[in-house]
Chains A and B, each alone.
Chain A
């Protein structure tokens, strides 16, 4: 998870990784999740936060979170 700590994440969803030189873009939900991940929240806490913040149903939130984590893994931003 500590790889996330070094990322500079702008509110607009632009992410620069100073160690690898890679850049990423994400959307507002992505920024929301990344900030929670940086603060050490676990999956259940993030799902709960998504439901509260966006009024999305839990099933969908969990499905989308897994998908997002898969993407982060593809980019080697988390283990």
Chain B
């Protein structure tokens, strides 16, 4: 019997979700698996990648409510079987984390951080985490007025990062730009706004998988070489920066992190500045599988209660290349997913 794994975030578009990368990793696990894609729009490319996703299901938005979301998963379980769920989108996480026990009772396994851990990675809690693991954060002001903005920029000087509390980050080189970005972010995301010092150094990220007991099933550090206009990685290279990897291990140990994560930093000489922690795998997670540390497959194994591999002796200097590709699909797939919500 093959293991049935459902993966969301299969929107492999210009701002891609991690689902396709996760599925590729799981497919290469060496285990007998069937992968399902969970989609929120009938046009998500993963639905049509039949060679990767055996089935695809439309999901109700998490904002509709926990019961409706869980019912849909139970429906999939009842009709097609479902052993492991890998939620890959930020908006799904709080809901799935809270419902993890309910899902487990139904035989659907997950491997996720706790709700407390999930909340700790919020932007306004970063300084607390940074202090606990002995790294720095860029000087940050949380402002909710023009006066606050002016005070912050006087203190920080230019350039400066202007960020929304959840999304969006823009660099301002002078007061006029700062005001423009501030207004744009306020109108879209509301108050407060985060004003942050710009650290010039190497932008490096680590993808990892914590075991929930302070250890981990592997880390892979990369430097982004080329990013798109949306700030998404296009090419990257593996690095072995001991400082950064040690800091990441301290993070996993100190928070006893469970599940996949991305640790985003700027490395300036010997200093590590923590920029963001994502409580899930990033869209480039397949890079890890490609260099021999198959984190998506290990996550699936951990979720199933199997002993996952822990070796992570990857080579520095491996390149990650993202490229565009295209293929042709039938209207029938579209019709089924639109009318029946599954295909």
Contact = CB atoms under 8 A, between A and B. Distances in A.
Indicate whether A and B are direct neighbours in the complex (CB within 8 Å): yes
B331 A25 contact: no
Contacts of B340: 12
Interface string A42-72: 0000000000000000000000000000000
If over half of B's interface residues share one DSSP class (helix, strand or loop), that class is named, otherwise mixed; here it is: helix
A23 interface: yes
Interface string B328-343: 0001001100111000
If over half of A's interface residues share one DSSP class (helix, strand or loop), that class is named, otherwise mixed; here it is: strand
Interface string B86-121: 000000000000000000000000000000000000
B340 to A, nearest CB: 8
A25 B339 contact: yes
A12 to B, nearest CB: 5
A35 interface: no
A75 to B, nearest CB: 16
Contacts of A14: 335, 338-339
Interface of A: 10, 12-14, 16, 23, 25
16 contacts: A10-B335, A10-B339, A12-B335, A12-B339, A12-B340, A13-B339, A14-B335, A14-B338, A14-B339, A16-B331, A16-B335, A23-B334, A23-B335, A23-B338, A25-B338, A25-B339
Given A16-B335, A23-B334, A23-B335, 4 more contacts: A10-B339, A12-B340, A14-B338, A14-B339
